[in-house]
């Protein structure tokens, strides 16, 4: 590549006019002929490539020169220090406590910058993408190793990507949606078997609100590799702003290639040039204090540190807020660790476990004090063999309609009546509880449901029902894309026949119902009778019952 470039380059100098690096160190052909480390101060922004009249690729050629020097091992201590910093940053992000992989088909890969600055924005992105795609979107927290790539360290990134690929395959991920242009660049280049899209290729205008009107859109350097991303950014953003254009060639912020470590002064020169370029864009009602709207957290941070007012586009996502300052490095690491750890921990399950342990402990204490009598409980149930179950089923039939969690009722059925009768009463109540809101939505509250829940939700479900019929009910009962109470109302405004809805709901909620009643029964055996054997049997029944949905899940996903 280098020899071919040198043969075709006529050293016209046009690239020097758009690049602070080339204006200091000379034309690309001159740098390539030199045997020193100056090439590492190239930020790889690609501006030189876009203005080359002969359609050459000086940026890629200079990057190739970096790789050759690293492979030879002949570079200065200053370059070695910057390279070690890049490797250290990337490998830390690739390990505990920053690394996290959700088990899912589609996942959001926000990138280190977005995660470090605002975990709240990352969560809002996941939520918005799930609604936009009509399916659950997981979260992947890892480093794409772009800092190493930008310095030409190809061997390190190839080793890292092989590990990332194994983690993605193990998590069942087939599609990644990125929140970072550099992540898009790296992952699309090295993960050939996984679909990679930038978040702008999924979002729409309605997902962003209250963009600062008198601002300019700044396209980060990596976006110039992906015309679809830039076009989508213009469609979503520019029509909401009082401006006529965005930067047509890269306006590098100075972070690329580790330049801020190698030459901070030159890095700041890049930043000031980019701010000046943004100030020079034509706008309506322009003021002296330009607000820069970018979709790279690194660019935003550099602009703010140089005194400009800047925001990340995703700070205008519904449910988020704009951030006026740049967090410290320590705060960024804390944010990344906190988001990763919180994603690994299921708060709802922990809360349920704490509740169950509290109930068990309280019941055991009351039983030891004589306040709870086994004979008294059994006598009450014996005296109300018909009324007690009917009252239970009636309450269960109403609870989901008013969004009362039904899990406690299912556990309670097993606790009181045992695994067999408890399952019968619970599944009867659960089926009625799913049918009542369905009927309310279909015949009385349809318009309210459409207004209460986003159009994307019910339209996506409506499409699935038209395509797959009862299989849509089966899939959502085993792998709920929305909470059950929400699903019950949403199915009411789809064309699914009532009979198909009822029997599919009954059959595909039954395994989980049996599992939870069996677990509740085992707790009853332990607390009321001190029966360890009953506890073990109940846990075994629950485990077998929960295995069935996992087996069916793979089959249904093939046909859904």
Q: Mean pLDDT of all residues in the chain?
A: 84
Give the span between the Cα atoms of 450 and 248, in whole angstroms: 42
Average the pLDDT over each of 239-253, 330-344, 375-389, 455-469 and give the range with the smallest value.
375-389
Q: How is residue 298 written in tokens?
A: 């690194």
Per-residue pLDDT, 156: 96
Does the structure show a pLDDT above 90 at 283?
A: no
Q: Which of the four pLDDT bands, split at 50, 70 and 90, describes residue 284?
A: very low
Q: How is residue 187 written in tokens?
A: 């992952």
pLDDT tens track for 356-392: 677 667 767 766 766 556 566 667 667 778 887 888 8
Give the span between the Cα atoms of 490 and 493, in whole angstroms: 6
Domain ranges of the chain: 2-75, 87-344, 384-559
**Beta sheet of 195-198, edge-to-edge order:** 100-101, 138-141, 106-109, 175-178, 195-198
Q: Which of the four pLDDT bands, split at 50, 70 and 90, describes residue 556?
A: low
Q: How is residue 495 written in tokens?
A: 């064309």
Average the pLDDT over each of 171-175, 416-420, 476-480, 555-559 and give the range with the smallest value.
555-559
What is the helix (H) or strand (E) element at residue 67, kind and residue range?
helix 58-72
Write down how long the chain is. 560
Task: Look at 556 and 495; give whichever has higher pLDDT.
Answer: 495
Per-residue pLDDT, 399: 81
The pair phi, psi for residue 367, each rounded to 5°, is: -65, -40
This prediction's pTM: 0.67
Do the Cβ atoms of 153 and 83 come closer than 8 Å? yes
Angle between helices 532-559 and 498-529 (to 10 degrees): 160
CA angle 243, 244, 245 (to 5 degrees): 100
Q: What is the DSSP code string of 124-161?
A: HHHHHHHHHHTS--EEEE----HHHHHTT-HHHHHHHH
Bridge-based pairing state of the strands 138-141 and 100-101: antiparallel
Average the pLDDT over each of 30-44, 367-381, 461-475 and give the range with the smallest value.
367-381
Give the span between the Cα atoms of 285 and 282, in whole angstroms: 10
11-17 LR contacts (CB < 8 Å, sep 24+): 12/53, 14/51, 14/52, 14/53, 15/47, 15/48, 15/51, 15/52, 15/58, 17/51
Q: How is residue 445 written in tokens?
A: 């509250």
The pair phi, psi for residue 197, each rounded to 5°, is: -135, 150
Do the Cβ atoms of 315 and 246 come closer than 8 Å? no
DSSP 309: E
Q: Which of the four pLDDT bands, split at 50, 70 and 90, describes residue 351?
A: low
């Amino acid at each position: 590549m280098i020899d071919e470039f040198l043969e075709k380059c006529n050293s016209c100098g046009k690239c020097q006019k758009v690049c602070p690096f080339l204006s200091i160190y000379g034309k690309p052909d001159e740098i390539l002929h030199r045997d020193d480390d100056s090439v590492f101060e190239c930020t790889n922004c690609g501006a030189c490539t876009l203005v080359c009249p002969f359609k050459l690729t000086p940026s890629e050629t200079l990057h190739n020169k970096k790789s050759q020097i690293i492979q030879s091992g002949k570079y200065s201590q200053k370059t070695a220090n910057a390279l070690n910093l890049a490797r250290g940053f990337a490998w830390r992000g690739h390990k505990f406590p920053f690394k996290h992989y959700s088990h899912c088909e589609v996942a959001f890969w926000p990138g280190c910058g977005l995660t470090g600055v605002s975990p709240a924005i990352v969560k809002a992105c996941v939520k918005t993408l799930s609604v936009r795609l009509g399916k659950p979107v997981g979260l992947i927290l890892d480093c794409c190793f772009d800092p190493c790539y930008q310095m030409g360290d190809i061997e390190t990134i190839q080793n890292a990507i092989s590990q990332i690929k194994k983690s993605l395959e193990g998590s069942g991920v087939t599609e990644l949606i990125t929140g970072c242009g550099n992540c898009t660049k790296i992952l699309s280049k090295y993960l050939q078997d996984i679909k990679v899209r930038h978040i702008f290729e999924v979002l729409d205008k309605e997902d962003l609100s209250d963009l600062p009107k008198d601002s300019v859109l700044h396209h980060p350097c990596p976006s110039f590799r992906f015309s679809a991303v830039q076009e989508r950014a213009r469609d979503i953003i520019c029509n909401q702003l009082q401006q006529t254009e965005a930067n047509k060639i890269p306006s590098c912020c100075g972070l690329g290639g580790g330049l801020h470590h190698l030459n901070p002064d030159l890095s700041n020169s890049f930043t000031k040039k980019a701010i000046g370029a943004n100030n020079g864009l034509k706008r309506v009602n322009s003021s002296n204090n330009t607000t820069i709207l970018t979709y790279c957290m690194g660019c935003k941070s550099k602009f703010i540190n140089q005194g400009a007012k800047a925001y990340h586009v995703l700070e205008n996502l519904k449910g988020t807020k704009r951030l006026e300052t740049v967090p410290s490095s320590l705060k960024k690491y804390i944010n990344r660790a906190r988001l990763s750890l919180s994603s690994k921990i299921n708060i709802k399950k922990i809360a349920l476990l704490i509740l169950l342990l509290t109930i068990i402990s309280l019941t055991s204490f009351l039983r030891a004090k004589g306040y709870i009598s086994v004979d008294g409980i059994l006598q009450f149930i014996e005296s109300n063999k018909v009324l007690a179950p009917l009252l239970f089923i009636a309450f269960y039939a109403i609870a989901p309609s008013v969004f009362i969690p039904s899990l406690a009722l299912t556990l309670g059925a097993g606790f009181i009546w045992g695994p067999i009768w408890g399952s019968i009463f619970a599944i009867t109540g659960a089926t009625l509880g799913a049918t009542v809101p369905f009927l309310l939505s279909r015949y009385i509250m349809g318009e309210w449901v459409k207004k209460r829940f986003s159009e994307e939700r019910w339209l996506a479900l409506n499409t699935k029902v038209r395509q797959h019929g009862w299989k849509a009910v089966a899939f959502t009962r085993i792998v709920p894309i929305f909470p059950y109470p929400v699903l019950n109302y949403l199915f009411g405004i789809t064309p699914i026949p009532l009979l198909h809805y009822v029997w599919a709901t009954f059959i595909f909620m039954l395994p989980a119902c049996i599992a939870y009643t069996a677990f509740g029964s085992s707790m009853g055996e332990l607390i009321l009778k001190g029966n360890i054997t009953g506890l073990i049997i109940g846990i075994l029944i629950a485990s077998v019952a929960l295995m069935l949905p996992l087996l069916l899940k793979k089959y249904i996903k093939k046909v859904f």
